[in-house]
Amino acid sequence: MSASDSAARKIIPSRTDDTDLREQVRVLSKDVKELGRMTKDALADKVDLAKSAAKDAVDAGREKAVGYRDQLADATRDKPMKSLLIAAGVGAVLGLILRRR
């Protein structure tokens, strides 16, 4: 076999090379699809965790707000005159602030 025959064989793909290439493309396509599915699943899991954490934070904030509201209601009921004077003072201060604007 001469050097030119060897060079021609390397340049012109054989049927086996074509079949191998098709198989490699098929395997690569399958791998890319699987990687996409895995990425989608991983992101879905992260989104679910974030939603759960946000819901927990909102619930905790709501519980705190209800607690503060209850404390304020108790304090108002226990000392109504003090609550009235505080409210009047806060109203007066806000009135002065807003008036200057």
| pTM attached to this predicted model | 0.49
13-47: pLDDT as tens digits: 566 777 888 889 999 999 999 999 999 999 999 99
Q: What is the pLDDT of residue 18?
A: 78
Which residues span the domain enclosing 70? 3-100
The tally of domains found in the chain comes to 1
Residue 81 is encoded by which pair of tokens?
Answer: 């005159």
Distance CA(88)–CA(73), nearest Å, equals: 17
Residue for token digits 């493309």? 25
Torsion of CA 47, 50, 56, 61, to 10 degrees: -130
39-94: pLDDT as tens digits: 999 999 999 999 999 999 999 999 999 999 999 999 999 999 999 999 999 999 99
